[in-house]
Amino acid sequence: MKTDKITLPEMFDNIADNYDRLNHRLSFGLDKKWRRKFVNHLSGKEYKTIVDIACGTGDVLIELQKLNAEKYYAIDPAEKMLAYAKQKCPNSEFVISGAEEIPLADNSVDLITVVFGIRNFEDLSKSIKEFYRILNSGGNVSIMEFSLPDFFLFRWGFLLYLKLLVPLSGRLSKEQKNAYKYLSASIVDFARKTNVAVVLEKSGFIKTKIHKLMLGSVVIYTFYKE
């Protein structure tokens, strides 16, 4: 997808200062609830090492602290986004990297999370293979991403909302408006072209559960490595 000739990490760095505020405004505060639900559904299991990929400004990383892991890694290629995450969760180890080549050892991680990040990956299947490589056997990968609801009326409503999203984002610079245009267009593009469950299964992951929120406009995919 086009992002006005800048790389995606550069685009995210351009909106880093406003990212949290706009997310809360555009989702009517629901994004906090979704992240809380996402982490709650992962509780009840012990994880020594957790890696949050596409960690952004760290709003999931904060929630993940509830799982009391011994070690947290936060990975993202956008330096400025990560700088905000560092302020929120200084106890984590921060790595500037894309998901396509993760500088962690084979079989060294118990849980990988990705929240609203997977649709930005440059190479999705390469990234999912990396997840498989670094996960311990029995380890989980859990991904939350926007999707298009199956029922046509809900789908229509969600598409309308996405079209309104950019005007809703208010007084932003042209650069920032373009970024939010990309963010809403990439939701539709990704959902139409990609079946996340199939990509995970192709790399050897086994389904634990798929959970739909908001009438199917947000989906949590949880899989494990045998």
Ligand X SMILES: C[S@@+](CC[C@H](N)C(=O)[O-])C[C@H]1O[C@@H](n2cnc3c(N)ncnc32)[C@H](O)[C@@H]1O
99 forms part of the interface with ligand X (CB under 6 A): yes
> Nearest distance from residue 126's CB to ligand X, in Å?
10
If binding means CB under 6 A, how many residues of this protein chain bind ligand X?
A: 22
CA distance 76 to 147: 22
Q: How far, in whole angstroms, is CA 140 from its chain's centroid?
A: 15
CA distances from 224 to 65, 112, 197, 205, 207 (A): 21, 10, 12, 5, 7
Phi/psi for 139 (5° steps) reads -75, 160
Contact status, residue 121 vs residue 98, Cβ threshold 8 Å: yes
Residues 40-59 vs ligand X: string with x where CB under 6 A? Answer: -------------xxxx--x
> Nearest distance from residue 35's CB to ligand X, in Å?
6
> Nearest distance from residue 78's CB to ligand X, in Å?
3
Q: Site for ligand X (CB under 6 A): which residue of 26, 39, 51, 60? A: 60
Please choose, from the candidates 119, 131, 136, the residue with its C-alpha nearest in 3D space to the C-alpha of residue 219: 119
C-beta atoms surrounding 207 within 10 Å: 12
Owner of token pair 């949880």: 222
Q: Identify which range of 63-71, 118-126, 149-157, 174-182 contacts ligand X by CB under 6 A.
A: 118-126
Residue 92 vs 156, nearer CB to ligand X? 92
Residue 69 vs 78, nearer CB to ligand X? 78
Residue 103 vs 138, nearer CB to ligand X? 103
* Interacting residue ranges for ligand X, rule: CB under 6 A: 8-9, 12, 53-56, 59-60, 76-78, 81, 98-100, 115-117, 120-122
